Structure 1
C-alpha cells in the first residue's frame, strides 16, 4: 500500500483505499459513505472538476452544498486522463488501490484505457465498480440517464400519478441515492468475497435496473405470478386518500392505524360514528383502503395536531408531525443522538448530517470537509513516488 495519510481514520473500512472516478450524486454518495466509514477515498477529477461543484449555493463558486456533502472527507486529485502523464499517474494509483469506482459510460472509460480488463491487468485483486444509467446487457445501454428520467422510466411517476392525479417527480433525487446505496452494498459484498478468496472482480450497478427492483418490491404484487393475479400495484401506496391528515388547528399529522391491534385501540379511544364490522380486520380494511383513509381524514379534522400526537403515541400507533427540511436541523431526537457533526473547514464551520449507522467497535464519523479542486494532487502523487522509490530500494 501507499504511505498512510497523516490523519488517523476510524471505521470498519479504515484500511481501504478507493479510487473515485465518479461525478454528480450516485457514485459520490456511495464513496462518501465509504469515506465516513474510514476509507481513504481519492477523488480523481478532470481539470474542470466535477460538475456538482457548481450546481447550488456554497461558500465558494466551486463548493456547492450538494458537492460538499457527498464529497466530504475525500482527497481531490486532478488528472487529465486524455494525456499520457495523467494516465500514468492513474495506473500507479491503481496498483495500490482496493476499489476502483467510476460513473462514465462503458465506451468512454474503455476509450481512456481504464475498463475492467485494463485495470485488473494492473491489479488483479481490485474490486472494480461500474455505476451506469442502464446496464450493458440491454438495448438502453448507451442512453444518457439522470435521476428525473430514471424516476419516469422505473414506474415511480406513474405511481405518483395514481396517488396525486398528476405524474410528478418526488421531492428528492431518489434514483441517484438508491443507486448509490446499491453500489455501496454491491462493492462491499465483492470486498467480502475478496477477503475470503483473494479474488477481485467487476461489479455493475445500473440506475434503471436498481429502481425497477426498488419499485417492484411491493408493486410487483399480483403480477409476480403466472398467470398474473392482478396488475403490478400495491393499492395502499397509491390510493388517492393516502396523505397526511389535516387537523383542526391547520396542521397535519402523518399516522398509520394499520394492524388489528392498532385499529381496535383507535376505535375504542375515539369512537368515530362510522366505525363498523366491515372495517374490523386488516383484510377488510385493505379491500376498502381509500374509503378508510377518507373516513379517517374526516375524524382527524376534529382535534388539534398535538392532541392527536399525544393520543396516538399513548396508544402506540405510529404518528408524526409533518416537518420541513429546515426543522430537521433543530430536531431534538437527532440532536440528542449526536446525528449532526460540525467540521471546521477553510470556508468556516459546516454542519453535516452524520452517518445514520452505529458500530460498537468500529464507529464511523464525518470524514472531514470536502476538498478544493485538486487540493491533494501534489500530496497523493508524492505518495506514489515515495512508495515506488521505497519498493525499488527494498528489492535491491
Structure 2
C-alpha cells in the first residue's frame, strides 16, 4: 500500500453514500479499509445498471481501495471476529445509529475496552443532546432541513433538491477530515477519542458560511442570503448556440466587459456597476445585462474573447461531456481498469496529487464478502471461537 495513510487500518461499518464516500477517501489516501457488510450487502450495490448482481455503479464509485467481509452482527461468532478486528484497528467508523450500536455491544466504551487508542467515528443525522438525536436521515431530508432546498424556493419560487447527493458528499468530506485530525492528535498524544460527525449541524454550518448574511450580527443587520448566489439572473447564460458560465466579478473584469459590448463608460456612469458591493446589491441587474448580451455571439466567440481578457468563463458541460474533456484527459483523470468480476470499468481517480506519497488504486470495489476468508483467517484462530451453549 502507498499513500500518506499507509499502515492505518480502518473498520468500516458504513453503508449507502456518506460513510462509504468518507472511507473511500481514506482508502485512496492509503489506509487499509475493511468494509463490514451484512449478507445482503450495502444497499448501494443494487442500484443502477450492472453486469452482475450487487455491483452497481454507485457502489463501484464509493468503495474502491477496500476489502469486504460479511459478518452477522447478531451472531456471537461473527461478533467475536469483529471484536478481534477492532482490537487490531486504528479507526472504527459507523453510520449505524448510536442506540443500535449500543445494543450490539459496540459503544465507544466497549470499543475502548478492546482497543484503548481506537478512533471511534460516529456519523449521525443529528448530534447527541438535541431533540432530533437518533432520528434516521437521508440526503433529501438533510437538503430540506439545512436550507439547501429552501434556497431554490427563494430563486425559483419552489423548494427542490440539488440533483446530486450533496449532503452525503459534503459530510463525507468532513468525516474524512475528522478521522485524519484524530489520527494526528493520537500520534502527538497517544490518545484515541470518540468523534461525532452530525449531518444536520455540518450542513447548517456549510450553508450559513455563504448565506448567514445580516444575521451574522446581533441584532441582525439584514436578511439571510448572499444576493449574488440567489440572483434569478445568475446564469448560466444562453449564447447564440448554447450556454456559458461566466463570472464578471472584479472592477477590472467589468471594465473589460463593458468595452467588449461597446459601453466603455458603464462602470463610471451606472452606479449599480460601480463596485463589488453595488453589483452584489443589484445582482439581478448585473446578471440581466449578461443575459441580454451573451446571445449576440456564439459560445466559442465569447470564450475566445473572455480568455484573452482573463475573465473567468467556461462552457456548460453535461455529465457525458466530462468523459471527453481535454483537461481531464491530459491529467489522466479517467482510467480503464480490469475488475476481477466486472470486466473493464471506468474509474475516475482521486483528484489529489502527493509528491512524496503518491496515491494508487490498489483495489477496485470488492464483491460482497470477497475477503471474508482472508480476513477471517487472520482475525483469530479457529480454536478461539466461543464454545456454543
Q: TM-score range with shorter-chain normalisation?
A: over 0.9
The 8 Å contact of residues 343 and 368 in structure 1, kept in 2 or not, is answered as: no
Which contiguous aligned blocks of 4+ residues in structure 1 show a shift greater than 6 angstroms?
386-389
**CA positional deviation for 1:361:** 0.3
SS of equivalent to 1:306: helix
- Indicate whether 1:381 and 2:376 are aligned: yes
Of residues 352, 362, 370 in structure 2, which corresponds to 1:367? 362
Deviations 1:20-68 (A, max 9, x none): 0000010000000111111110000011111111122222120110011
* Structure 2 counterpart of 1:6: none
Of residues 78, 81, 94 in structure 1, which corresponds to 2:86? 94
Alignment of 1:36-47 (within 5 A): 36-47=28-39
- Indicate whether 1:253 and 2:248 are aligned: no
Alignment of 1:64-213 (within 5 A): 64-213=56-205
* Structure 1 counterpart of 2:347: 352
The 8 Å contact of residues 221 and 234 in structure 1, kept in 2 or not, is answered as: yes
* Structure 1 counterpart of 2:387: none
Hey, what's the Cα distance between the residues in 2 that align with 1:376 and 1:117? 28
The 8 Å contact of residues 258 and 265 in structure 2, kept in 1 or not, is answered as: no
Deviations 1:235-269 (A, max 9, x none): 111111112110112x0000010011111111123
The 8 Å contact of residues 12 and 92 in structure 2, kept in 1 or not, is answered as: yes
Hey, what's the Cα distance between the residues in 1 that align with 2:307 and 2:204? 35
Hey, what's the Cα distance between the residues in 2 that align with 1:277 and 1:50? 58
Superposed CA RMSD in Å reads 1.6
- Indicate whether 1:265 and 2:259 are aligned: no
Alignment of 1:273-288 (within 5 A): 275=266, 276-278=269-271, 279-288=273-282
* Structure 2 counterpart of 1:227: 219
The 8 Å contact of residues 253 and 305 in structure 1, kept in 2 or not, is answered as: yes
TM-score (norm 1): 0.93
SS of equivalent to 1:157: helix
SS of equivalent to 2:96: coil
SS of equivalent to 1:329: helix
The 8 Å contact of residues 84 and 380 in structure 2, kept in 1 or not, is answered as: no
SS of equivalent to 2:296: coil
SS of equivalent to 2:196: strand
**CA positional deviation for 1:273:** 8.5
TM-score (norm 2): 0.95
Hey, what's the Cα distance between the residues in 1 that align with 2:136 and 2:243? 39
For the structure 1 residues 386 and 15, does the alpha-carbon distance in structure 2 shift closer, same or farther, using more than 3 Å as the test? farther
* Structure 2 counterpart of 1:56: 48
Question: Gaps spanning 5+ residues in structure 1: where?
Answer: 1-8, 390-396
Hey, what's the Cα distance between the residues in 1 that align with 2:264 and 2:254? 14
The 8 Å contact of residues 126 and 201 in structure 1, kept in 2 or not, is answered as: yes
**CA positional deviation for 1:146:** 0.4
**CA positional deviation for 1:342:** 2.4
For the structure 1 residues 263 and 44, does the alpha-carbon distance in structure 2 shift closer, same or farther, using more than 3 Å as the test? same
